[in-house]
Structure 1
């Protein structure tokens, strides 16, 4: 087992490595991107990558406190479901109003893999191979889809 500090350092080392690996990759619009802290341009709408000692996931999270607004976002994403799945090249899981790690209700559209362990450096190539094409695909999807969400800005 790792101490809390060791776990934090390993997690930080992974995300630093991933960020360095992604640095040369430009966004769908040909711009430099902050892949780890991707900016959707919308408050309460995030592209999140997570990894722990059992699983890794990448997804779209809608965290607005108003559940009706979350539902409006999910409806808009549903209208673009085929575009999303075609762009990412696979089916993702869709969950509305599920508790997050802080017991706040959020809505998520995501893909998850297991078993992987961010604390095992031998799993890092698997994690990078999982995250890289999907965050690039999410960016490509978002470069077209974001305009459909303007009324929710």
Structure 2
């Protein structure tokens, strides 16, 4: 069992390693990007990557406090679903109005890989291999589709 400080250090080490691994990769627009903390530039839309004790995931999160506006953003993504899945070369899971443990309501589009553990350095390459092509694909999608969301 790890202490809170040890868990924090291992997590920080993973995300630092991921950031270093991704550092030479330019964004679709040619600009340097902080891949670990990708900024979409559109309020209430986030690209989230998680690495936990039993899974890793990547996704789009819409967290507007107004559920109707959140749904509007979600529906806009649905309009581009075929384009998104073509860019990703796979289908993702779509969930409107998911209630998080904190009680916050978000909508998300995500892909998860089970049975990987951020605390096990032997799994880091699997997690990075899962996240890397998907965040690059999301960036490619976003480079073309962002204007449609800026107007909402």
Q: TM-score, normalization: structure 2?
A: 0.98
User: How do 1:1-153 and structure 2 match up within 5 A?
Assistant: 1-152=1-152
> Separation in 2 of the partners of 1:33 and 1:144?
16
How far, CA to CA, are the matches of 2:101 and 2:33 in structure 1?
A: 27
**1:113: how far off?**
0.5
8 A contact 2:49–2:57 mirrored in 1:
yes
Q: Is the 8 A contact 2:42 2:150 kept in 1?
A: no
Instruction: Give CA-to-partner distance per residue, 1:85-106, whole Å, 9 cap, x none.
Output: 0001100000010112422000
Structure 2 unaligned runs (5+)?
Answer: none
Q: CA deviation at 1:150?
A: 2.4
C-alpha separation between the residues in 1 aligned to 2:38 and 2:82?
22
Distance 2:101 2:145 in 1: 28
Counterpart CA distance in 1 for 2:73 and 2:117 is 32
The Cα shift of 1:151 comes to 1.8
Aligned mates of 2:100, 2:137 — CA distance in 1: 24
